[in-house]
């Protein structure tokens, strides 16, 4: 098909978007998160052969960059997909940040904090050990460890919400721990990315990177806690003063302000060697206290509705199924998946128990398995590793597989465990995305 | 500044977006539409020299395509700006379509219809004559004529709304005429683009293109009138039947459906040789009757809040100020601007008078000047002409100037005329965009 430039882009966008949404709707019918359908569609369009080409390349004219070649950005059409995908995931992390209030974070209590902390440390160590044993590459090991850290609370939260168990003790620990897990995960990612992109890896250099990443994240948290409220109060006071004078206060479109801060923080994070999504997440935290007032979540949601599908499509498109035909890679994937489940389960249940001795076996099971699904965050970490050249396409495929499978197996286990503690009559509705 | 790929894109996006919004806020303070500020910022970043380069190219690393070279799409960073701009304007035209109900269109009455029709024909003829006299190039003449046709009712509508004159006779005629003008403008654009991109221009060929464009637009209007209501009724009936059975009906995310239809229609329009925005506009019309029910306008608005600034930035970025240093081009611009005002005024007041003999001089003045602002639509037409190679960069700069100036001069005249008919006490508030 020989098309004009704009026609080519539009055809590619609409075909990929429509396929992704159909994939999402199909898996949602089975009670699974839609993003799994979108990833599978991405894998399919890039891997299923049509003649000697694929739907993606042959029909849609979208040429992916050669894996590992950092200066290759794919063809014109792929640029557009890539940009939409990146902006989409930036806005996604921004909305995650919007739900993360610094004050709640500080009040979330010992069991949640220890649950998150051990839930980060144990899987990270497991991941590093496996890869050091597998290929001995430190960058690979660090990125796989970081990808195993992330918890995607969205999936567990949906189950809890659907079962109307929001006010149980386990649910509260899981939600708080997942939020702290996000923050810790961002720090881990910042450190790992800093180490992968710096040339020399002396002990001093590592300490510098850790300090730099931790300082950046903690500085923003401090800004959220002490600076933002004052800025807000200042403008509120000015607005009220103007209204008291009988003048119409200048209204500011907060969506525009949010977009500017989100993009600026993302750019800043990238420039200082962290990941863009870390900046976006921290930017979201800056608006968390007043997001409801400005209806920001809903508005950003409309933007991600359009863009985010391209991120998960792209996640799938980057998976080269050929790498999984290798027996040792498949074995590695199996080991990683088992350790991802066990590591999170041990870390989180142990941490919660240490924080609150009164939690019984049922509760620890719920918390341990509730933190297992990796969902999008592990994949985001892996794709950063892939695009910065710190991860091989084999390991990338392993992480995608790990994220998809932990996300697939966790929901039935979690809901079964909730039922066995809180008995029955809870019904899970399929997600209503198209 | 040497940055990684993603960092480069993010920096460019946030700098351009923030500048555009500041520009928009500044012109809004003077009661002008924000898009003028965004266009001016676009002109500034691409034209103001910094050393031997510009902010856009030297600092942001965004290299524009060479004008007139159709295979040059600019560099990686520009692709992203271009894609966001195009998708932004597609969604803009979709929302214009959302406000265009086919049934209202058919009921809008003789004065509105004749006002729109003559308001399209007179400026088009004026535009064609001027360019035929200027350089004798038929493509140039047709595109300039088409760019002079468009009315941007947004500006007049804001004045009417701010003055609380929505239920005056003149206001109703202007709004209805502007909607019909949009549809007629789309038909003119379709024809002009068809003629510019076809190789041979026999009389038979021209008739074929006119027939094709008119059939496409009218077919979609017919679908909106007779097919869409049945599809809607069918799904409504099914939904009600399911609920009567006590089942939960599958909920469909209508924003996703709207995005798919909008992109698909845009792609289709491009493929058959019309402009993408025509498809988007017609797609919007398909959803017009139920848009409020699904809150589509607000949701699409969030998307355009992010993307549309890049369109107006890009409009400005494509203006080469050097072309305006030529005396004959400046003279042409002056003639075109005068004819754009006079043509619209004569066409619209004459048309209204023919449709309703009881309209007095004051009313005809209001209607005539109310239709003068060209705003974005004329520019969109010109940018299609530029990118399809049917327009020169001189003529493009002339059209942008014409659109900006008609938009600048019309508001004070319109509000003065409304006041002289409806007396005083109306206050115009500045737009509250950032």
Q: Kindly tell me if the per-residue pLDDT of B188 is higher than 50.
A: yes
Report, as an integer, the average pLDDT of B14-32. 89
| Closest chain B C-alpha to A361 CA, distance in angstroms | 36
Q: Cβ neighbours of residue B54 under 8 Å, at least 6 residues apart?
A: B45, B46, B47, B48
Produce one character per residue of A19-32: b if its CB has 16 or more CB atoms within 10 Å, e if not: bbbebbbebbeebb
Q: A247 falls in which pLDDT band (50, 70, 90)? A: confident
Task: Tell if the CB–CB gap between B253 and A6 is shorter than 8 Å.
Answer: no
Mean pLDDT, rounded, for A168-181: 81
Residue with tokens 């004045």: B159
List chain B residues with CB under 8 Å of A270. Answer: 3-4, 6-7, 10
CATH code for the domain defined by B5-422: 1.20.1530.20
The phi and psi torsions of A31 (rounded to 5 degrees) equal 75, 15
Model confidence pLDDT, tens digit, residues A87-100: 998 998 888 788 87
Beta strands in B243-352 (DSSP E): none
Asked if A239 and A252 count as a contact pair (C-beta separation under 8 A), the reply is: no
What pLDDT, in 10s, does the model give residues A115-132?
Answer: 999 999 999 999 999 999
Name the pairing type of β-strands A53-54 and B49-50.
Answer: unpaired
State ipTM. 0.81
pLDDT band at A264 (very low <50, low <70, confident <90, very high): very high
Query: What distance in Å separates the CA atoms of residue A277 and residue A22, rounded to the nearest whole number?
Result: 27
- Tell me which residue in A10, A86, A305 faces B255 most closely, judged by beta carbons: A305
Chain B positions touching A9 (Cβ under 8 A) are 83, 86
For residues B115 and B171, give the distance between their C-alpha atoms in angstroms, rounded to a whole number.
Answer: 13
Interface contact flag, A259 B305, Cβ < 8 Å: yes
Contacts of B255 in chain A (CB under 8 A): 302, 305
Per DSSP, what are the bridge partners of residue A50? A53
User: Which pLDDT band, with edges at 50, 70 and 90, does B429 fall under?
Assistant: very low
Which residues on neighbouring strands pair with residue B54, listed in sequence order? B49
Find chain A residues with C-beta within 8 A of B10's C-beta.
90, 263, 266-267, 270, 276
Alpha-carbon distance of B6 to A383, in angstroms, equals 13
- HSE-CB for A382 with a 13 A CA cutoff: 32
Strand partners, B53: B50
pLDDT at position A291 over 90: no
Give the DSSP H or E segment for B53.
strand B53-54
Pairwise CB contact (< 8 Å): A260 & B73: no
Question: How far, in Å, are A165, A230, A266, A299, B204 from residue A294 at the CA level?
Answer: 28, 18, 21, 9, 57
Domain ranges of chain A: 5-422
Task: Give Rg (Cα) of chain A.
Answer: 22
Tokens 């539409």, residue located: B33
pLDDT digits (tens, 9 = 90+) for A310-349: 988 988 888 888 888 888 889 999 999 999 999 999 999 9
Phi, then psi, of A252 in degrees rounded to 5? -110, 135
Query: Does the model's pTM come out above 0.95?
Result: no
CB contact under 8 A, A13 and B429: no
User: Which residues contact residue B276 at a Cβ distance below 8 angstroms, ignoring those fewer than 6 apart?
Assistant: A6, A7, A10, B86, B90, B266, B267, B269, B270
**CA A373/CA A413 separation, integer angstroms:** 11
Nearest CA in chain A to B17: A260
What is the rounded distance in angstroms from the CA atom of residue A406 to the CA atom of residue A401?
Answer: 8
Judge whether B281 and B96 are in contact, CB under 8 Å.
yes
Query: In Å, how far is A250's CA from the nearest CA of chain B?
Result: 7
């Amino acid at each position: 098909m020989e098309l004009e430039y704009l026609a080519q882009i539009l055809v590619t966008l609409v075909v990929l978007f429509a396929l992704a949404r159909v994939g999402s709707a199909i898996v949602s019918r089975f009670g699974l998160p839609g993003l799994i359908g979108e990833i599978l569609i991405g894998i399919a369009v890039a891997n299923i052969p049509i003649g000697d080409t694929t739907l993606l390349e042959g029909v849609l004219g979208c040429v992916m960059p050669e894996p590992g070649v950092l200066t290759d950005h794919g063809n014109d059409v792929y640029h557009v997909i890539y940009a939409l995908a990146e902006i989409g995931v930036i806005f996604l992390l921004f909305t995650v940040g919007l739900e993360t209030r610094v004050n709640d974070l500080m009040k979330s209590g010992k069991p949640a904090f220890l649950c998150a902390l051990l839930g980060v440390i144990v899987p990270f160590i497991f991941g590093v050990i496996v890869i050091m044993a597998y290929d001995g590459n430190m960058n690979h090991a660090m990125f796989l460890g970081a990808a195993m850290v992330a918890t995607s609370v969205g999936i567990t939260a949906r189950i809890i919400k659907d079962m109307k168990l929001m006010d149980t003790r386990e649910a509260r620990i899981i939600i708080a721990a997942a939020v702290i897990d996000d923050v810790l995960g961002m720090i881990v990612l910042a450190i790992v990315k800093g180490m992968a992109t710096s040339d020399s890896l002396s002990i001093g250099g590592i300490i510098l990177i850790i300090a730099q990443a931790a300082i950046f994240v903690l500085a923003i948290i401090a800004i959220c806690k002490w600076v933002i409220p004052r800025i807000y109060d200042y403008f509120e006071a000015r607005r009220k003063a103007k209204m008291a004078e009988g003048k119409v206060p200048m209204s500011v479109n907060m969506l525009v302000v949010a977009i500017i801060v989100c993009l600026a923080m993302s750019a800043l994070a990238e420039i200082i060697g962290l990941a863009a999504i870390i900046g976006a997440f921290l930017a979201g935290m800056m608006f968390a206290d007043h997001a409801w007032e400005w209806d920001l979540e809903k508005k950003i949601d409309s933007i991600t509705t359009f863009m985010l599908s391209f991120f998960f499509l792209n996640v799938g498109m980057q998976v080269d199924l050929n790498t999984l035909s290798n027996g040792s890679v498949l074995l590695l994937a199996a080991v990683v998946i088992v350790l991802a489940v066990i590591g999170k389960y041990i870390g989180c249940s142990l941490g919660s128990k240490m924080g609150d001795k009164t939690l019984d076996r049922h509760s620890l099971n719920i918390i341990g398995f509730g933190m297992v699904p990796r969902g999008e965050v592990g994949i985001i970490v892996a794709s950063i590793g892939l695009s910065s050249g710190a991860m091989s396409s084999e390991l990338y495929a392993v992480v995608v597989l790990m994220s998809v499978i932990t996300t697939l197996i966790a929901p039935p286990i979690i809901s079964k465990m909730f039922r066995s503690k809180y008995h029955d009559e809870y019904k899970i509705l399929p997600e209503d995305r198209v």
